[in-house]
Amino acid sequence: MKRPTLLAALLLASAPSLLASGDFPREKPNPAKAALEGKAPPELQVDGWMNTGGAPMDWASLKGKVVVLDFWGTW
């Protein structure tokens, strides 16, 4: 009986810390990408905004939001 209890306690103890450390999976190891993490993102040097009411978006106005940046193409 002792073992499962201990195991469960260990699992419970480690689960929140895993979440707290923000240990999310990466697509593949890439030092150039890793160097971006933990910092403010580079400026969006883009044109032709759509779905913003014509205004460009910048990082300052997105504070407090969770932003998914999708680099994509139509080919």
Partner 1 sequence: MPGLKDLAARYGDQGLVLIGVHSANGGEKMASFVKEQGIDYPVAIDRAGKPTVSAFAVDSFPDYYIVDRAGNVRVADLPNRALEATVQALLAEPVPAALPAELAEASERATRKDKRLLVLLGTDDDRAAFNKLSRLDRALRRELSNEYETVPAPLGGSLAVALGVTATEPTAIALDAGGAPLGSIAMGGLDRERLWAFAREHKVAPGDAETILAGALAQATKEKKRVLVHLGAPW
Site for partner 1 in 39-58 (CB under 8 A): 39-52, 56-57
What backbone phi and psi angles, to 5 degrees, belong to 30?
-155, 110
- Integer Rg of the chain from CA: 20
Instruction: Assess 27 for contact with partner 1 (CB under 8 A).
Output: yes
**Under the criterion CB under 8 A, does residue 14 sit at the interface with partner 1?**
no
Looking at this protein, which amino acid is placed at residue 40? A
> How far is residue 44's CA from residue 60's CA, in Å, rounded to a whole number?
11
At its nearest, how many Å lie between partner 1 and the CB of residue 4?
27
Footprint of partner 1 on this chain (CB under 8 A)? 19, 22, 24-27, 30-52, 56-57, 59, 62-75
